[in-house]
């Protein structure tokens, strides 16, 4: 099967067609495969940011690449990377202050590389500018032997972990990185997993053995050695105590390890260690078909359910040029907002519990249970991981009688939220524990790549649902709650208010829900109808057969669509090489940078504040480790 | 008093204190569950009452394990201290008129002394475990209990001044006309807060602080040694509830019902209060706890002492 998946779509019957199927036409549209070259942007004028770069660096060889998502994308030579990125990130007027994503691609097996420079590996830098509401993706081509880029951690502190991940996953060196160690894989790991030659399932290895020696060596490598992190040893500084917290600890919300250097109870050093929840979600994408990867996305932010499906299916739809019917889009919003509430309720309860309040978590789980029972389960049939969105629409239509339970829940929750305000947010001990703890400014938050409630709590009213509406979010009225100081209290307060706004959106969606198909009648997502096509026409029959056996063959291209997930900004940077499975999927999750900033947030505070901060960040380890 | 009567009281108080403490495990779990929209243990026996028995059997049959890195002797002794001191304090608490194990003139001082000794249990447990979490928990316990003891003692001086005695029986009898909660309301509040801190209950459970320190000073304990800490905590809750009832709410005094019933009713009301507080409050930070103690509670109890003293002197004068 694996070999078959690798075959190229040239075997697939192509039919040239100029007309894109439009929604509402019903299942009688002819079966067509879109032309590969059509998918992706047209011939637009060069983006402003590239004009700016050419003015600033007249000799810069800038190889532009057209991508399906329309994000300005260009290849720059490796030698000038640091210079160009420094200009964009720091020196430019209205700089690209956020390093949104950074990752690698193994280009060696990629067939459709028209117009791109030769490369064995490439590294992409995805930058976002809030002041311009614009983004840019710069790529660097690297050779097979000793690939290396320069560190950009000096420009964006957020780059630290992304560069370690790059080294870990691709073996791409990062010159000038202070601690270039493995991040997600254990230090003894052999090979770089996201390289194409690395095995992707256990049966590709020999039988598993672990001798006593290896076991002891692995244990020894887990021992915290401060000198490896540039920290003083306790022998040299007797007033210092290193305390290992995790990976199994009640406050870490999953397998997360953090080593704190304490002086009395004050945190003077803090070293987070992640990777204990790493499951290789990105590697798995490369061997799943486009559709069968959707359930894996559910489990990335496992509290977010379908909100994880959305950025993935949006990207694939963009690659395929699928227009999703209105009804499907609104159901998506409805479910996403329901899951936002479910996720925030977990946040709210565990936040209170981390500060020592025992009871609230039970109330909030009760509310979440109702949401699952009354809204999510009747519609999707699933609870936490419903695997409900499909490329081009939804798995099924809304069930009969879905409306009243949703409206009942919308009436039920606000009173409960008001009560929790009195119990939790107005509590004086709660305020004493959270107000002023680990405050962060907007500039710092942006530089560290914080998004979602973390960014809004710092004071920037930025919500992708407002700024770049997707799935018709612009049809609905809602406010974007912001904090002022970005401290733990503000972060919690923003979460709480977002639940109210989600309820508002849900009510409007319920009222506005149009009739119509729940999925697009696009040949890449819906098999041709049996009558009058499949049963009479051999081409349709072949297409039908391929569609249900292989799944769709997505045209070559690249797309990355942002969504405002439960915890921040999410995207699946999806690269198709015209095959039945993705060539590369880079998952950008919100929790990853949110946890990276922990040393900055906690240093100078007490050990009890570490727990407060962890509670206020709203991270999920599966979301961090992927 | 006949020796058998004396023996009966000793055994009665001992068994009653231990039974109530064990029953509290059930009571607290069920009551907290009610607060938290759930059922709690309701399977073993009627209303889950035999859960305590099941838990006791389980905990007794667990392996009696001492971590290899711990200081063995101290590690073993520490848990028994907390229970012993709490039980000894019960000696001087009058359950009803004349129902007291030993009628000490300095009853209240004896209780304060025992309460001070109880600190050793926690500190030694944290110290001898040789684990960092235990150590931090033990250090917090030392600081917290020593500081809260200061104004716990001070808050009671007002009562002593009004009653003119350290004997708990005399103090109860002096409340015949008016319970001391009225003239000594400030003392009552301070004592209640100090009692929470001394028993290491939420909101003052910083020594355990499960979200930070795993289980604080008793992280390394298991089996019956852990059980002793648990029972010790419940005996201490019972003790402080009994003390509040005795010192501020007239002990066994009350119309119609026998004295011992009144005493038990009042004690249970405060036990319930302790549990409801646990179901409601978050936990302050360590430095905030200290600030509350030294900057609010201490001045408050000193002021209370000053005013009470002035009134007592003026009356006598």
Query: How far is residue A58's CA from residue A53's CA, in Å, rounded to a whole number?
Result: 8
First to last CA, chain A: 25
Question: Shortest CB distance from B284 goes to which of A241, A358, A432?
Answer: A432
Shortest distance, CA A430 to any CA of chain B (angstroms): 6
Closest by Cβ to A250, choosing from B35, B214, B280: B214
Which structural domain, as residue segments, surrounds residue B100?
Answer: 65-316
Q: Nearest CB to B211: which of A250, A362, A427?
A: A250
With an 8 Å Cβ cutoff, is A358 touching chain B?
Answer: yes
Phi and psi at A276, nearest 5°, equal: -75, -15
Q: What mean pLDDT is predicted for residues B156-181?
A: 84
Specify the higher pLDDT residue, B204 or A417: A417
A85 in a domain, yes or no? Answer: yes
A 328-357 near B (Cβ less than 8 A) = 352-357
CB contact under 8 A, B284 and A429: yes
Asked if A356's CB is within 8 angstroms of B280's CB, the reply is: no
Q: Is residue A244 one of the residues assigned to a domain?
A: no
Give whole-number Cα distances, A361 to A250, A364, A366, A430, A584, in Å. 14, 5, 8, 14, 39
CATH of the domain at A145: 3.30.460.80
Question: Is residue A188 assigned to a domain?
Answer: no
What confidence score (pLDDT) does residue A40 get? Answer: 42
A265 touches chain B (CB under 8 A): yes
| Chain A 507-546, residues with CB within 8 Å of chain B CB atoms | none
Spatial contact of A213 and A190, defined as CB atoms under 8 Å apart: no
Q: B203 preceded by cis ω (within 30°)? A: yes
Tell me the pLDDT tens digit for each residue of A278-301: 988 999 999 888 888 999 998 888
Residues of B in contact with A432 (CB under 8 A): 284-285, 288
**C-beta separation of B305 from B156 below 8 A:** no
Q: Could you tell me if A165 and A284 lie in one domain?
A: no
Look at residue A33 in the predicted model and tell me its pLDDT.
42
**Plot region of A532 (φ>0 → left; ψ -120 to 50 → alpha; else → beta):** alpha
Strand partners, A389: A394
Which residue of chain A has the CA closest to B39? A362
Q: Is the C-alpha dihedral spanning A210, A211, A212, A217 positive or negative?
A: negative
Please check whether residue A199 touches B, CB under 8 A.
no
Residue A531 lies in a domain: no
Chosen domain end from A116, A148, A183: A183
**Host domain of residue A576:** 278-519+558-625
State which of A183, A198, A214 marks the end of a domain.
A183
Q: Are strands A557-559 and A563-564 parallel, antiparallel or unpaired?
A: unpaired
For residues B70, B74, B77 and B82, what is the CA-based torsion angle, rounded to 10 degrees? -100
Q: Omega into B252 within 30° of 0, i.e. cis? A: no
Say how many domains are in chain A.
Answer: 2
What CATH number does residue A594 fall under? Answer: 1.10.645.10
- For chain B positions 157-186, those within 8 Å of chain A (CB to CB) are none
Chain A positions touching B35 (Cβ under 8 A) are: 359
- CA-based nearest distance B37→chain A, Å: 7
Say how many residues make up chain A: 626
Q: How many domains does chain B have?
A: 1
Averaged pLDDT for residues B65-73 = 86
Same domain, A172 and A282: no
Answer whether A363 sits within 8 Å of B280, measured CB to CB: no
Contacts B132 to A, Cβ<8 Å: 241, 243-244
- Quick one: tokens of A256? 């997360």
* Residue-level pLDDT at A5: 42
Contact status of B205 with chain A (Cβ, < 8 Å): yes
List pLDDT tens digits, range A311-362.
Answer: 999 999 988 888 889 899 999 999 999 999 999 999 999 999 888 888 899 9
- Model confidence pLDDT, tens digit, residues B91-133: 888 887 777 777 778 888 898 888 888 888 888 888 888 888 8
Nearest residue on chain A to B211, judged by CA atoms? A251
The minimal CB distance from A432 to the residues B211, B286, B288 is found for B288
User: Using the beta-carbon criterion (under 8 Å), do B281 and A356 form an inter-chain contact?
Assistant: yes
Q: Does B295 touch chain A (CB under 8 A)?
A: no
Q: Minimal Cα–Cα distance from A399 to chain B, Å?
A: 31
* A527 domain residue, yes or no: no
Quote the minimal CA–CA distance from B38 to chain A in Å.
8
Q: Average pLDDT of chain B?
A: 85
A134 phi, psi to nearest 5 deg: -140, 160
pLDDT tens figures, B34-45: 888 888 888 888
Q: Extract the residue ranges of chain A whose pLDDT is less than 50.
A: 1-42
The residue out of A151, A166, A183 marking a domain boundary is A183
Helices B259-280/B223-248 angle, 10° precision: 120
Compute the distance between CA of residue B4 and CA of residue B6 in angstroms, rounded to an integer.
5
Nearest to B33 by CA among B22, B19, B43: B43
Residues of A in contact with B133 (CB under 8 A): 243
Mutate to test the interface with B, among A249, A359, A434 (most CBs of B within 10 A): A359
- Are the beta carbons of B301 and B190 closer than 8 angstroms? yes
Of residues B38, B205, B286, nearest to A606 (C-beta): B286
- Minimal Cα distance from B208: which residue of A? A356
CA distance B192 to chain A (A): 17
Alpha-carbon distance A492 to A217, whole Å?
A: 42
Q: Which residues of B touch A430 (CB under 8 A)?
A: 282
Cβ contact, residue pair B211, A610, below 8 Å = no
Does the beta carbon of B278 lie under 8 angstroms from any beta carbon of chain A?
A: yes
Q: What share of chain A is helix, strand, coil (3-state, %, to 5)?
A: 40, 15, 45
> What is the per-residue pLDDT for A34?
42
Any domain includes B33:
no
A10 in any annotated domain: no
| ipTM exceeds 0.95, yes or no | no
pTM above 0.95, yes or no: no
Burial label for A28, CB within 10 Å (0-12, 13-18, 19+), is: exposed
User: Could you tell me if B43 lies within 8 Å of chain A, comparing CB atoms?
Assistant: no
What phi and psi, each to the nearest 5 degrees, are found at residue A564?
A: -90, 95
Find tokens 């000096």 and name the residue. Answer: A154
- Tens of pLDDT along A430-467? 888 898 888 899 889 999 999 989 999 998 888 888 88
Please provide the DSSP assignment of A99-166 as one string.
EEEEEEEE-TT----TTPPP-SEEEEEEEEETTTTEEEEEEEEE-SSS-EEE--TTT-TTHHHHHHHH
Whether the CA torsion A440, A444, A448, A453 is positive or negative: it is positive
How many angstroms away from the CA of B281 is the closest CA of chain A? 5
The verdict on residue A507 lying in a domain is yes
Inter-chain residue contact A429 with B283, CB threshold 8 Å: yes
Establish if B2 belongs to a structural domain: no
Please answer yes or no on whether A362 and B209 come within 8 Å at the CB atom.
Answer: no
Chain B residues with CB under 8 Å of A362 CB are: 36-38
Q: How do A173-175 and A393-394 pair as beta strands?
A: unpaired
Smallest CA–CA separation between A611 and chain B, in Å? 6
Would an 8 Å CB–CB cutoff place A429 in contact with chain B?
yes
What residues contact B228, with CB distance under 8 A and at least 6 apart? B79, B80, B82, B83
Residue B85 has pLDDT above 80, yes or no: yes
Taking the Cβ of residue A366 and every Cβ of chain B, the question of whether any pair is shorter than 8 Å is answered with yes
With CB atoms and an 8 Å threshold, state whether A353 touches B211: yes
Q: What is the 3-state secondary structure (H, E, C) of A304-358?
A: CCHHHHHHHHHHHHHHHCCCCCHHHHHHHHHHHHHHHHHHHHHHHHHHHHHCCCC
**pLDDT, position A42:** 45
């Amino acid at each position: 099967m694996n070999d078959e998946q690798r075959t190229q779509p040239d075997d697939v019957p192509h039919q040239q067609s100029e007309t894109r199927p439009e929604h509402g036409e019903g299942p009688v549209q002819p079966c067509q495969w879109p032309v590969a070259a059509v998918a992706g942007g047209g011939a637009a004028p060069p983006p402003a940011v590239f004009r700016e770069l050419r003015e600033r660096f007249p000799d810069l060889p800038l190889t532009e690449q057209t991508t399906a998502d329309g994000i300005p994308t260009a290849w720059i030579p490796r030698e000038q990377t640091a210079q160009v990125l420094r200009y964009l990130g720091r020196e430019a007027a209205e700089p690209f202050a956020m390093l949104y994503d950074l990752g690698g691609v193994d280009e060696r097996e990629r067939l459709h590389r028209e117009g791109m420079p030769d490369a064995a590996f490439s590294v992409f830098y995805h930058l976002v500018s809030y002041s311009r509401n614009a983004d840019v993706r710069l790529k660097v081509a690297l050779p097979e032997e000793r690939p290396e880029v320069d560190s950009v951690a000096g420009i964006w502190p957020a780059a630290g972990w992304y560069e370690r991940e790059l080294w870990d996953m691709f073996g791409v060196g990062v010159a000038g990185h202070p601690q270039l160690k493995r991040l997600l894989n254990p230090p003894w790991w052999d090979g770089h997993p996201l390289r194409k030659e690395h095995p992707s399932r256990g049966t590709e290895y020999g039988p598993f053995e672990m001798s006593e020696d290896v076991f002891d060596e692995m244990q020894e490598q887990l021992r915290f050695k401060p000198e490896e992190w540039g920290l003083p040893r306790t022998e040299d500084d007797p007033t210092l105590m290193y305390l290992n917290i995790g990976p199994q600890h009640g406050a870490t919300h999953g397998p997360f390890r953090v080593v704190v250097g304490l002086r009395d109870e004050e945190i003077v050093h803090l070293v987070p260690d992640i990777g204990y929840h790493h499951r290789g979600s990105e590697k798995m994408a490369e061997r799943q078909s486009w559709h069968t990867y959707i359930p894996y996305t559910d489990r990335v932010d496992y509290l977010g359910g379908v909100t994880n499906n959305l950025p993935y299916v949006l990207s694939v739809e963009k690659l395929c040029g699928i227009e999703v019917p209105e009804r499907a889009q609104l159901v998506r919003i409805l479910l996403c907002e329901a899951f936002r509430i479910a996720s925030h309720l977990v946040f709210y309860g565990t936040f209170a519990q981390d500060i020592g309040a025992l009871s609230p978590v039970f109330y909030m789980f009760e509310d979440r249970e109702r949401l699952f029972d009354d809204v999510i389960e009747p519609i999707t049939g699933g609870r936490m991981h419903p695997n409900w969105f499909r490329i081009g629409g939804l798995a099924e239509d809304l069930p009969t009688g879905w409306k009243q339970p949703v409206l009942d829940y919308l009436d039920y929750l606000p009173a409960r939220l008001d009560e929790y305000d009195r119990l939790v947010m107005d509590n004086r001990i709660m305020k004493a524990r959270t107000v002023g703890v680990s405050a962060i400014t907007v500039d710092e938050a942006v530089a560290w790549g914080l998004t979602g409630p973390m960014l809004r709590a710092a004071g920037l009213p930025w919500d992708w649902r407002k700024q770049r509406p997707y799935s018709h979010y612009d049809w609905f009225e809602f406010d974007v709650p912001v904090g002022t100081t970005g401290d733990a209290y503000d972060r919690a307060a923003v979460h709480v208010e977002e639940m109210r706004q989600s309820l508002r959106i849900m009510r409007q969606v319920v009222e506005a829900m149009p009739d119509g198909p729940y999925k697009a009648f696009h040949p890449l997502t819906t098999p041709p109808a049996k009558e009058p096509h499949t049963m009479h026409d051999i081409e349709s029959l072949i297409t039908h057969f391929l569609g249900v056996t292989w799944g769709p063959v997505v045209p070559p291209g690249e797309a990355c669509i942002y969504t405002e997930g439960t915890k921040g900004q999410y995207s699946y940077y999806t690269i198709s090489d015209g095959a039945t499975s993705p060539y590369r999927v880079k998952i950008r999750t919100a929790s990853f940078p949110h946890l990276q900033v922990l040393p900055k947030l906690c240093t100078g505070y007490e050990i009890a504040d570490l727990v407060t901060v962890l509670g206020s960040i709203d991270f999920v380890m599966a979301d961090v480790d992927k | 008093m006949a020796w058998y009567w004396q023996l009966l009281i000793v055994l009665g108080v001992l068994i009653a204190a231990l039974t109530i403490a064990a029953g509290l495990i059930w009571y607290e779990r069920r009551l907290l569950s009610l607060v938290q929209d759930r059922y709690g243990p309701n399977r073993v026996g009627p209303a889950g009452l035999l859960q305590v028995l099941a838990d006791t059997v389980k905990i007794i049959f667990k392996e009696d394990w001492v971590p290899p890195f711990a200081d063995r002797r101290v590690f073993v002794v520490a848990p028994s201290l907390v229970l012993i001191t709490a039980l000894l304090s019960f000696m001087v608490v009058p359950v009803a008129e004349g129902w007291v194990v030993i009628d000490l003139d300095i009853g209240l001082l004896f209780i304060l002394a025992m309460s001070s000794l109880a600190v050793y249990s926690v500190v030694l447990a944290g110290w001898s475990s040789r684990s960092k979490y235990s150590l931090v928990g033990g250090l917090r316990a030392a600081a917290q209990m020593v500081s809260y003891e200061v104004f716990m003692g001070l808050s009671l001086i007002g009562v002593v001044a009004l009653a003119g005695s350290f004997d708990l029986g005399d103090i109860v009898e002096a409340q015949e006309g008016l319970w001391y909660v009225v003239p000594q309301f400030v003392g009552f509040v301070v004592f209640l807060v100090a009692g929470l801190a001394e028993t290491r209950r939420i909101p003052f459970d910083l020594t355990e602080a499960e979200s930070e320190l795993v289980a604080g000073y008793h992280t390394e304990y298991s089996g019956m040694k852990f059980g002793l800490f648990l029972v010790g905590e419940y005996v201490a809750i019972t003790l402080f509830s009994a003390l509040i009832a005795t010192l501020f709410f007239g002990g066994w005094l009350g119309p119609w019902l026998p004295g011992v019933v009144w005493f038990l009713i009042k004690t249970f009301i405060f036990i319930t209060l302790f549990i409801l507080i646990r179901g409601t409050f978050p936990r302050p930070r360590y430095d905030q706890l200290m600030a509350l103690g030294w900057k609010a509670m201490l001045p408050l109890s000193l002021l209370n002492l000053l005013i009470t003293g002035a009134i007592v002197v003026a009356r006598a004068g």
